[in-house]
Amino acid sequence: MDIKAIVDCKTLLGEGPLWDVEEQKLYWIDSLGNRIFRADQNGKGVESWPVPANIGSLALKKNGGALLSLADGIYGFDFATGEAELIHRVTHKGDTVRLNDGKVDRRGRFVTGSLETTETTPLGLLYSVDTDLRVSQIDDGITVSNGPCWSPDHSIFYFADSRSKAIWAYDYDIDTGKLSNKRRFVAFGPEDGLPDGATVDAEGCVWSAGVYKSKIHRFSPEGRRLMTIDMPVVCVTSVMFGGPQLDRLYVTSMLRAPVPGIEETGPLAGSLFVIDGLGIRGLPEYRFGG
């Protein structure tokens, strides 16, 4: 196994690595730096675009451009012009709430959640954006929304409320996008960090960034810990398989923690990393169908 930093981007809050199989490009974001990045599999040819607010996540659209979760709502984004256009403004439960992590299901829906920025109060919600751009609420009572992803057959939806120190599993109705039967998938201990960004590999195992403790964890579909990787940064934030064979694990990180009591050290903080030699493949990500 080989871990290396491939882009010294010093993201304030790097998040949302997204490998697009059509373009063979990697996208990621700086949530607090209000920026989108794109590069090739080795971190070369970096391009970036500013966005007008804190960005929680990005979904590429089937017909070009992207759908963004910005702080106050869902936006369309044009990479050619750099313009972001509001599609749906979200009514949050307080002025400390913003949209955060999101991903697309196999039917082309975009699922994204919100977080309470002081990370103390469960004011966040979980939303589903259908391909006709209709937005519906599918869960509530969330403090820090992170890590949405699905089992390979999309019958199970995984989701982390980071401050609950757990990844949760739901039954997922692919026809309607509705959730049911919420249960704890895994609990994180004191040395595991908090569950942050996540992905599912081709074997159905869940990978989660253990933020604030330099960890990446792999769990079996039954919730058994199979592997823990120690990273060279404290604030590791999210993971995604990519590369031509989908066998390279890309990892984002943050320059400094947004909460008190956590200190990041070292020159690699905020870098984009890649891990090679795992012998494990991921699954292709879907594009938004609207």
Give the sheet arrangement for strand 47-50, strand by strand.
Answer: 14-20, 25-30, 35-39, 47-50
Q: Is 130 marked as binding a ligand? A: no
Task: Give the C-alpha separation, 40 to 125, whole Å.
Answer: 34
Q: Is 119 marked as binding a ligand? A: no
Task: Give the C-alpha separation, 209 to 237, whole Å.
Answer: 5
DSSP string covering 179-210, please? EEEEEEEEE--TTS-EEEEEEEBTTS-EEEEE
Is 247 catalytic? The answer is no
Q: Is 98 marked as binding a ligand? A: yes
Q: Taking a C-beta distance cutoff of 8 angstroms, is the pair 240, 206 a contact?
A: no
Q: Taking a C-beta distance cutoff of 8 angstroms, is the pair 113, 126 a contact?
A: yes
Q: Taking a C-beta distance cutoff of 8 angstroms, is the pair 280, 243 a contact?
A: no
Token pair for residue 170?
Answer: 């739901």
Q: Is 100 marked as binding a ligand? A: yes
Q: Count the residues in the chain.
A: 290
Task: Give the C-alpha separation, 121 to 205, whole Å.
Answer: 30
β-pairing, 272-276 vs 14-20, is: unpaired
Task: Give the C-alpha separation, 13 to 150, whole Å.
Answer: 24
Which residues partner with 160 through β-bridges? Answer: 146, 167
Report helix, strand or coil for 40: coil
Catalytic residue among 30, 101, 139, 196: 196
Mind telling me the catalytic residues? Answer: 196
* Sequence ranges of the binding site for a divalent metal cation: 15, 146, 196
* Sequence ranges of the binding site for substrate: 98, 100
* Sequence ranges of the binding site: 15, 98, 100, 146, 196
